[in-house]
Amino acid sequence: MQPSPMMTPASPSQTIALAQNRVLRNTYALLALSMVPTVLGAWIGVQMKFDFFQGSPGIGFIAFLAIAFGFMFAIEKTKNSGWGVALLLGFTFFMGLMLSRMLGVVLGFRNGASLIGLAGGGTAVIFAVMASFAASTKRDLSGMGKVLFIGMIMLLVAAFANIFLQLPALMIAISVIAVGIFSAFLLYDLNRVMTGGETNYISATLAVYLSLYNIFANLLALLGIFGGDRD
> Which pLDDT tens digit goes with each residue over 212-228?
999 999 999 999 999 87
From 137, 148, 178, 29, select the one nearest 89 (Cα to Cα).
29
Q: Which residues contact 218 (CB under 8 A, 6 or more apart)?
A: 174, 175, 176, 178, 179, 182
Residue 195 maps to a domain: yes
Please report, rounded to a whole number, the percentage of residues in the chain having pLDDT higher than 70.
92
State mean pLDDT over 187-199. Answer: 90
pLDDT recorded at residue 1:
46
Asked if the model's pLDDT at residue 97 lies above 90, the reply is yes
pLDDT of residue 78: 96
**Is 90 exceeded by the pLDDT of residue 142?**
no
What is the predicted pLDDT for the residue at 231? 62
Q: State mean pLDDT over 106-121.
A: 94
Number of separate domains in the chain = 1
The reply to whether 6 falls in a domain is no
- Residue 116, burial from CB neighbour count under 10 angstroms (0-12, 13-18, 19+): buried
HEC letters along the chain: CCCCHHHCCCCHHHHHHHHHHHHHHHHHHHHHHHHHHHHHHHHHHHHHCCCCCCCCHHHHHHHHHHHHHHHHHHHHHCCCCHHHHHHHHHHHHHHHHHHHHHHHHHHCCCCHHHHHHHHHHHHHHHHHHHHHHHHHCCCCCCCHHHHHHHHHHHHHHHHHHHHHHCCHHHHHHHHHHHHHHHHHHHHHHHHHHHCCCCCCHHHHHHHHHHHHHHHHHHHHHHHHHHHCCCC
Other C-beta atoms closer than 10 Å to the C-beta of 122 total 17
> Helix 168-194 to helix 201-227 angle, to the nearest 10 degrees?
150
165-191 mean pLDDT? 95
When comparing pLDDT for 186 and 56, which is higher?
Answer: 186
- For residues 56 and 19, give the distance between their C-alpha atoms in angstroms, rounded to a whole number: 47
Q: Is residue 129 part of a domain?
A: yes
Given a contact cutoff of 8 angstroms between Cβ atoms, the answer to whether 100 and 46 are in contact is yes
The whole domain housing 25 covers: 11-227
pTM for this entry: 0.91
Residue 204: the pLDDT is: 95
pLDDT tens-place string over residues 39-92: 999 999 999 988 877 778 889 999 999 999 999 999 999 999 999 999 999 999
| Domain-located, residue 159 | yes
pLDDT at res. 5: 52
pLDDT grade for 11, boundaries at 50, 70 and 90? low
Q: Which of 88, 116, 96, 100 is nearest to 29 (CA)?
A: 88
Average pLDDT over residues 15-44: 90
pLDDT at 128 over 60: yes
Tell me if 34 is assigned to some domain: yes
Average pLDDT, the chain: 90
Q: Identify whether 162 is part of a domain.
A: yes
Phi, psi of 78 (to 5 degrees): -115, 20
**Residue 175 forms part of a structural domain:** yes
8 pLDDT exceeds 90? no
72 domain residue, yes or no? yes
pLDDT at 46 (0 to 100): 94
